Amino acid sequence: MTSGRDAAVLGVAVASALAVGAAAPPALSPAAGYALGVTVFAALLWLTGAVPLSLTALAIPVLLVAFGVAPTFGDAVTGFADPVIFLLLAGFVLAEALRIHGVDRRVAYHVLLRVGTSPRRLVLALMVATALLSMIVSNTATTAMMVPIAVGLVGEVTEVVSADADADADAEAGAETPATARDEAPSNFQLAALLGVAYAASLGGVGTIVGTPPNAIVVGQLRELLDYHVSFADWLLVGLPMVVVTLPVAWVLLTVVVYPPRVGDVSDARERARQSLAAAGGLDSRARRTVGIFALTAVLWLFGGLGFLVRPVLPPPVYTTLFGGDAVSIFGTTGHQGLLYYVVVGLVAVVALVVTDAAEWDEVLDIDWATLVLLGGGISLADALVDTGATEWLASVTLGALGPVPLPLLVLAVVTLVVVVGELASNTAMAAILAPLLVGIGPAYAETLGTSAPTAAAVLAIVGAVAASYGVALPVATPPNAIAYGAGYMDREDMLRAGLPLDAVVILLATATLTLLVRFVWPVIL
């Protein structure tokens, strides 16, 4: 999009915000009307990308104050102090520390050396390693770690194995190669490996709260809008089945249907990886300290989610203070934000990295700040919508349009909407826009879902968050897609060729799996 068109989109967004606010129906207060106007403003810019996503997020509190939605600027920026922000900050810093010391590469090489000589199994190893890492650290950070590894390994393979047949086949299929990236069309093996990393990061990120920003956004908004707390373990029981179901499907689609590798054997490439590990030697003391801090942090995060196991032996105030709940804490307050446990663990880990000289401040702070800003703006917008009653009004309007539907159709509608729209927008932005709406309409489907009103709202919001990671056909759809595309080994058509059928398959597969989880599993754990 040209700068002139960007300016035009910005002008339309501002005009739309003013128009929506001025034309608010009588059932809404002026503040609610302008909260909706700011939502339209953010949605237009987030969907079009005319303005950087983080810049739009920074504009949200300014507009909330200017339109009289928030009484003070301090009230408008509360979302930027949400615990979710600090949790992801800690995850980003830990991932950056691993990257600095090359630990990520060593882990991937060790995995790859144990998968045999089949190129399909090599792609599978890349995807499994990526998915596992993505469940612990951000999928964006994971992709940034794994794509260079994939590029290097694929490069080694193509040096020792003739890929002329692949190149000719892709060229005949119309694949175009950016001249700045390479001189030949990519092989099927290259495409399967790079797309496999991108898809695995998105699919694996569904598994945990910290795996991808939409998960954290929904958890934060459920807490802000409903005072509904989802623990690390709760989400793991929700997200892990989705990872187990979708990851093999993506691998089969890539390596069997769309881009079957025509490379027969990768033994020589694996030998080069072994040589690289030997040349690198053992980890130095700083790297070992980083690994230790990371491992301990991961264990403590997982333990926080399993806190219910020690509930019978802990006094209620102690349990509430450590793991959250509705009882009185040791500080005398009623209830406690369980997510604070994960934040404290993460921030202590960040401090430990510096105190133990495992990393320098200027090194670990080289992280994705833009995503954190985007999260803060989205949470601030969600707070404004609920505080002004705009969410309740949106829910009633949406319910009138949807009407009563059976559970499978309800899940299908939510998944399809999020996936299709998410192809044109950041999945993070999608979660920020749709989560308040899904929370709002959820109680009306409590009977359909067979659960209480708050749980119904949580279920729909979580379904939307899961689906936000499944739009994978375009580079703009997810950060992992953008990173893989930016490696320069594929064009948009290459991504569409695999992404569109994966979208269709995942929509159906996710609908079936989520319907079963909603009906039989989630009522027990949520």
- Strand segments, DSSP code E, in 361-435 are none
| % of the chain beyond a pLDDT of 90 | 6
Write the CB contacts of 358 (distance below 8 Å, at least 6 apart in sequence). 97, 286, 287, 289, 290, 293, 352
pLDDT digits (tens, 9 = 90+) for 375-422: 788 778 877 877 787 766 765 666 556 667 787 888 888 888 778 766
Write the CB contacts of 61 (distance below 8 Å, at least 6 apart in sequence). 70, 73, 76, 77, 79, 80, 377, 380
pLDDT(94) > 90: no
Give backbone dihedrals phi and psi of 113, rounded to 5 degrees, phi first: -70, -10
- Rank 163-177, 267-281, 407-421, 443-457 by mean pLDDT and report only the highest: 407-421
CA distances from 397 to 151, 209, 262, 393, 403 (A): 48, 30, 53, 6, 10
Q: What pLDDT, on the 0 to 100 scale, is given for residue 313?
A: 80
Asked whether 143 and 198 are in contact (CB, 8 A), the reply is yes
Tokens of 443: 């109680």
| 253-262: average pLDDT | 86
Where along the chain do its domains lie?
Answer: 1-76
pLDDT(177) > 60: no
Q: How many CB atoms lie within 10 A of CB 249?
A: 15
pLDDT(121) > 90: no
The model's pTM: 0.63
Q: What would the 3-class secondary structure string for 493-521 be?
A: HHHHHHHHHHHHHHHHHHHHHHHHHHHHH
Q: pLDDT-based confidence at 443, cuts 50/70/90?
A: confident
pLDDT(176) > 50: no
- Rank 244-248, 371-375, 457-461 by mean pLDDT and report only the highest: 244-248
CA distances from 84 to 93, 102, 163 (A): 14, 27, 46
Q: What pLDDT, on the 0 to 100 scale, is given for residue 165?
A: 42
Q: What pLDDT, on the 0 to 100 scale, is given for residue 169?
A: 44
Write the CB contacts of 76 (distance below 8 Å, at least 6 apart in sequence). 60, 61, 62, 64, 65, 69, 70, 380, 384
Give backbone dihedrals phi and psi of 72, rounded to 5 degrees, phi first: -135, 165
pLDDT(188) > 90: no
The neighbouring-strand residues paired with 336 are 325
